[in-house]
Amino acid sequence: MALSGAAALAAAAAFYGPAWIFAAAVLVWGLAVVADSAQFSALVADAAPPKLSGPLMTLQTALGFLLTVPTVQAVPAFAISARLTLALMALGPAAGVEAMRRLIGLR
């Protein structure tokens, strides 16, 4: 998640720069964000009771899609500037990193 957040910030910083730098940042971001979902699935599988891990992973995946659809639809409506919007996208991974940090501290 730290990588996807950093890549979002890099994409925002490179938005008005050379196209190849922006494309590289977006490519890294796209690759990194895919792994973010797997981190949450692994957390659920590890923390859930064995009998509930399957249903809870299904619920987690469904909630992820449920959150994604309205978010993708809302971003253009609320976007002030492309650069600011890209930078704000780093808030999600930052919150995820903090949540994972707190969970690690509980064990």
79: helix, coil or strand? coil
> What is the number of domains present in the chain?
1
Query: What is the per-residue pLDDT for 13?
Result: 95
Query: What is the per-residue pLDDT for 8?
Result: 94
Query: What is the per-residue pLDDT for 96?
Result: 86
Quickly tell me which residue has 């501290």 as its tokens: 105
Query: What is the per-residue pLDDT for 106?
Result: 64
Domain with 91, as residue range(s), is 2-106
Burial group, residue 73, by CB count within 10 angstroms (0-12, 13-18, 19+): exposed
Report the C-alpha gap between 25 and 84 in whole angstroms.
15
Report the C-alpha gap between 83 and 51 in whole angstroms.
45
Instruction: Please report, in tens digits, the pLDDT of each residue of the chain (107 residues total).
Output: 999 999 999 999 999 999 999 999 999 999 998 888 788 788 888 888 889 988 988 998 898 889 888 888 888 887 788 889 889 889 989 998 898 888 777 65
